[in-house]
Structure 1
């Protein structure tokens, strides 16, 4: 809506404009309230699925206490392993087809 020239309007036209603007404000406030109510809903207190929560998902709650670990939860290297598996390298690279004559092992587990 363009801004009207208020100096050219008579008293009745100004009253009509004020009534129109007040009705518009009431309608917009109602729409804002409805949108804020919809925005506040998530899967915890509505019938919406969890996938609709978006990026506002709460952090997962772990039952494990901080610093609490079970024995054997990490494997340690040993000097003499029980089993050794050798995985031979292929003759050529699967990606580019180059020979792997001078390839070296960069990782051991």
Structure 2
């Protein structure tokens, strides 16, 4: 096996789990109930700049973030507690829901 072929195979193995579930935005919306306390009903926050805005973010970024919280690769005790209860299907659905919401980006100064 050539190096290039081995690299392609390795990438396919790593990326396969992320493509295993088709996203269901409505299921993500239903699962988002617990997230709303900090991130707001539509992912645009609750007015406290310490909580990230999720609406309009890329679905793959949101899914990776949740997987990283779940695995501990991204450290946050609160998010670890929430993410550890999620299945991969839940993660894909939540990411799709928040990505589908119209978002507004702001920096941490709170200005738009």
> TM (normalized to structure 2)?
0.22
Q: Please identify the structure whose Cα radius of gyration is greater.
A: 1
| RCO comparison, higher one (Cα < 8 Å, 6+) | 2
- Flag the structure with higher helix content: 2
